[in-house]
Amino acid sequence: MLADLHNHSCLSPCGDLNLSPKTLLEIGASKGLKLMALTDHNSSLNCPAFAKLSKQYGIIPIFGMEATTNEEVHVLCLFSNLEKCMAFNDYAYSILTPFLNNPDKTGDQVYVDEDENILGEVEYYLVNPLDLSIDNIGEKVIEYGGIVIPAHVDRVAFSMSSQLGVIVDGPWSALECVRIPPSFHDNQLDTHGYPLITSSDAHYCEHVSRRSFELDVSEEELFSGGYEVDLEVFKAALGRRLR
């Protein structure tokens, strides 16, 4: 199936206000996506609307956020269960750098319902780091029932390569790359044998599905019951990606 595990919405201050969860799903479905994650910066407040709408668009939802560690490394924190995701959301906000957002200068941070009605606006600037290091964010997400994928590891900003100089080991289910094979300043990265994926990091409507990837798994295999992804099956499918 065609998958994309890195997408922003109108909640991210650097994103498009037009990119509501509904619009994200509409475009994703039109591009043939079957599995999609919503990963706003340090917040999951648009995931409830994403959950309510996903089935009508024929898309399997993954919930989460793109967390920023205190080294300013971006990490995808992904959950199959909405309640567990929202519990981690509350924890993440409690350790977010308490710097007030200024919408006129840094962008709006609105969360909405399934009909695109604004429910509220996040007070603290969501791009700032959490009080978590790259050494402990993985275990913390796992503690809340999720999985962890370092984001755009070959990018020149907010990546393991840019912030740390190398790929560091951790409980990563995969590494997200801008391109495969990943390189940094024209030097190929040592990815330590982790599975590699690409994802769109969509902030605007035209970005949706620009770097989606194929996941070797069927819908029947992904569901252990109901409409919730079996994370162990999901991780096993990620493990079949090229390394």
Instruction: Tell me the sheet residues that pair with 230.
Output: none
- Residue 186 CA to residue 168 CA, distance in Å, equals 19
pLDDT bin (cut points 50, 70, 90) of residue 152 is: very high
| Percent of the chain topping pLDDT 90 | 96
User: What are the tens digits of pLDDT across the range 55-74?
Assistant: 999 999 999 999 999 999 99
Burial 77-88 (b: 16+ CB within 10 A, else e): bbbbebeebbeb
- Residue 211 CA to residue 155 CA, distance in Å, equals 14
Chain CA centroid to CA 157, Å: 17
The residues near 231 (Cβ < 8 Å, ≥ 6 apart) are 80, 145, 146, 147
pLDDT bin (cut points 50, 70, 90) of residue 123 is: very high
User: What are the tens digits of pLDDT across the range 96-112?
Assistant: 999 999 999 999 999 99
225 pLDDT more than 80: no
Q: Name the burial class of residue 22, with classes exposed (0-12), middle (13-18) and buried (19+) by CB atoms within 10 angstroms of its CB.
A: buried
pTM for this structure? 0.97
- Look up residue 199 and give its two tokens: 């994802």
pLDDT bin (cut points 50, 70, 90) of residue 186 is: confident
User: What are the tens digits of pLDDT across the range 72-85?
Assistant: 999 999 999 999 99
What is the mean predicted confidence (pLDDT) over 19-32? 98
Q: How many CB atoms lie within 10 A of CB 143?
A: 11
pLDDT bin (cut points 50, 70, 90) of residue 169 is: very high
- Residue 96 CA to residue 101 CA, distance in Å, equals 12
What is the mean predicted confidence (pLDDT) over 79-98? 98
The residues near 174 (Cβ < 8 Å, ≥ 6 apart) are 149, 194, 195, 196, 197, 238, 241
